Amino acid sequence: MAAARPNQLAGVVPPEMPTPTLLVRYTEKTKVATIAFRPVEPQSHSAHATTRDGTGVSERDDGWPMPGTLFVGQPTRRARLRRARDRCDVLGSRPAAPGSAAAAVYDWLMPIPAPSPDARAVVTGASQNIGEALATELAARGHSLIVTARREDLLNALAARLSDKYRVAVDVRPADLADPGERAKLCDELAARPISILCANAGTATFGPVATLDPAVEKAQLQLNVLGVHDLTLAVLPGMVERRAGGILISGSAAGNSPIPYNATYAATKAFANTFSESLRGELRHSGVHVTLLAPGPVRTDLPDDAERSLVERLVPDFLWISTEHTAQLSLDALARNKMRVVPGLTSKAMSVASGYAPRAIVAPIVGSFYKKLGGG
């Protein structure tokens, strides 16, 4: 039986679907969320009684859950429901009482909003690399898009390809998000539209001793990597909270977990992205809005010829690189599950572990010796 990605809007019960469905009902008085399983072939499942003996969710021989009751706060039953959630569609309307036990269960179960003709998923930095891959993956999942980057020609080519292949609407918004005026114009538009997903992906990096770098370029990096993320998030967030549904994917970096000499401004901007994302997620726990931090390692779209390899590609071994397509898939799957952080690739995982356990005074010179080479040192 094929697994299904969660993809149903809150409060919308679609016609019969060719995928298993997890039905969720609530009893505010007893603070119990009741689940029931509706399979593809109704005759294959005859049990309809809800267990009330505290045994949680029973399972069939094939691993699918039988109807049962989730008692909030019991980890073993949460684990079983998590497995069911990841393989089923979730239906039902969110309980009205904010902060209630039933609402908390619903927010944990409910995926990000499904594709809709009016709603848009926004991807910044969509003209290349991870941004292009995110836009492609969202279109493949049926989402209409707003794509933005500086290169209008690349955005138009992307829009034509995605709309032709996936039959979705793609709105092109060329903008330099490091420019406060252009950023404000885009934010005003997004605040007035039903934005279902924001992928705050646009970013840039510089390498070398800060004292030798162009101050204007460093300030532009702050505008893009910090204020670009902050302003666009604040533009779409009120609407998501009001609708009690939405997803925000913020592209941070493992570089934001520790000091990195010769990459100082970038590391500082990604420290903001990392902590802002995880702090925001804590604030939105009971809102129905998902927030996930993407902290990737080295990514690339294709394997370049030796003559076309950049300095980074020559310094980083091939086995440490991950594809932008794989990164996009992992990221959107993590957002649907409301994971706090997704860390694709061995490099980023190693940096995350090192920054968490090794003394910063030791990490900084080791990492700095590598980044010094990127700055031409």
Q: Where in the sequence numbering do the catalytic residues fall?
A: 266
> For residues 269 and 201, what is the distance between their CA atoms, to the nearest angstrom?
13
* Amino acid making up residue 351: M
Map tokens 């030796």 to a residue.
Answer: 306
Nearest-CA neighbor of 236 among 253, 250, 254, 251?
250
Pairing of strands 68-71, 32-38: antiparallel
> For residues 71 and 67, what is the distance between their CA atoms, to the nearest angstrom?
13
> For residues 332 and 327, what is the distance between their CA atoms, to the nearest angstrom?
9
Question: Left, alpha or beta for 355 (phi > 0: left; psi -120 to 50: alpha)?
Answer: alpha
> For residues 58 and 259, what is the distance between their CA atoms, to the nearest angstrom?
48
Neighbours of 292 (CB within 10 A): 25
Would you state the structure tokens that stand for residue 51, as one six-digit string? 């267990």
Edge-to-edge strand order for the sheet containing 170-174? Answer: 170-174, 145-149, 120-124, 195-200, 246-251, 289-294, 341-342
Neighbours of 259 (CB within 10 A): 18
Map tokens 């706090």 to a residue.
Answer: 340
Nearest-CA neighbor of 32 among 118, 106, 126?
106
Phi, psi of 170 (to 5 degrees): -130, 110
Q: How far is CA 355 from CA 22, 38, 68, 255, 361, in A?
A: 40, 45, 42, 9, 11
